[in-house]
Amino acid sequence: MDMASIPSLVVCLLPLSYLFFLIWKIIDGKRHKNCYILDYQCYKPTDDRMLTTKSSGDLIWRNKNLGLNEYKFLLKAIVSAGIGEQTYGPRVVLEGREEVASHQDAIVEMEEFFYDTIDNVLERQHISPSEIDVLVVNISMFAPMPSLSARIVNHYKMRPDTKVYNLSGMGCSASLISVNLVQNMFKTHKNLYALVLTSESLSPNWYSGNDKSMILTNCLFRSGGCAILLTNKVALKQKAMFKLKCLVRTHHGAKDESYGCCIQQEDEQGRTGFLLQKSLPKAATQAFVDNLKEITPKILPIRELVRHGIVSLYHKLQARWSSTKGGARTGINFKTGVDHFCIHTGGKAVINGIGQSLNLSEHDLEPARMTLHRFGNTSAGSLWYVLSYMEAKKRLKKGDRVFMISFGAGFKCNSCLWEVVRDLEDANVWEDCINAYPPKTLINPFLDKYGWLQNEDPATFTPPQDFYRQSAN
């Protein structure tokens, strides 16, 4: 090669090399922006915290603010709630101190959850607490000073440069908010470990009044939570369990009716509780519809979107040409892009409503129904118990897509889609009972034990000394 031509060759190669560098940088950047779940651990409290029929009856009986009408209301609510006898409550309630719960009671409740789940997930992955780069804690109804996240940093002696976030007041949909926060961190920083802690503190928030809209929460909410270990390390993608495909958050707080449909406030006697308004189903539906409008194009194949558009147009034209009002319903088939549905266990009505809206089968709804029965509504942690049920039943295979949907005060609806990276079959908290699910019946024994209340006369009713008695007596 002529030496004189070398400078010309270099001049020609420099732009090409720079172009290749830019392409590589873009590709490499996208690889590091991915969000993976490396591991997760749901919390299973000890058996002495189990809210059986007996302990629930004792709890209701010692609340002197309740009368026969409230007893009947609670009986109807808990019988229709879809909750079984093995859910867990805070220790302060089972010890009869719910009206005088202390700050320390709430701290101990959270510490039992934190240290059990964090120790398990870090030990399984052989990761030291000092390797955690991002810590996100979401406990909606308990915000001490220093924060709960600071308490974890202190206990595990985490690095001083760990990015720490403490979320409160975000409600049942908070875990996906936490995941979204981590996802955004991953977009700007490479090779991170992130730990998300999601739960709710019931110890200082058990309602002891007689407002029916507030005592309803006592029938649904139970103790639980989850620790989730996430990463964007490319080297660990084959070891990961799930890859986040997309996440959408919808917030209707600007609407007064939605904002106030589930809100913490004091009753007429000054007792603090969580109020569930009659407008809640409407607010949830509106948020759900708006959320689906945004996430549907992101998770379903184009062929299904086109099919739905054509069918919808046909029925609209048909309705216009005929005298028939309305027209046939043209539902979109979510199963064309989703294999499993992970639904927030907000209650039996929530599960049924989503199932009907998305045209889901009983097989699709089984994980949510069984989770509600076994663990109750564990607030922001509930999604992960549902996910764990699917894994314990060995439903999650490589390449499957899992759709998560959750609701929360504000009012919020958050959803996301995960891709299963490898075949999963860890039983997690279901290990000792998964073979018993689904049970032959979900009917709980409350009606058998307390059905005699329905025949009592308010004018002559006197609660028995032993509230837990057979209806035959």
- The residues annotated as belonging to the active site are 172, 251, 340, 344, 373, 377
Residue type at position 134? V
Per the document, the length of the chain is: 473
The H-or-E segment that residue 102 falls in is: none
Distance CA 136, CA 134 (A): 7
Neighbours of 221 (CB within 10 A): 25
End-to-end, the C-alpha distance of the chain in Å comes to: 107
Residue type at position 342? C
Residue with tokens 């101190």: 97
DSSP state of 124: H
Return the axis-axis angle of helices 362-375 and 382-392, rounded to nearest 10°.
120
Query: Could you write out the three-class secondary structure of 266-333?
Result: ECCCCCEEEEECCCHHHHHHHHHHHHHHHHHHHHCCHHHHHHHHHHHHHHHHHHHHCCCCCCCCCCCC
DSSP state of 221: B
Distance CA 37, CA 423 (A): 14
CB 386 within 8 A of CB 374: no
82 backbone φψ class: left, alpha, beta (φ>0; ψ -120 to 50): left
The two three-digit tokens of residue 411, written as one number? 């009012």
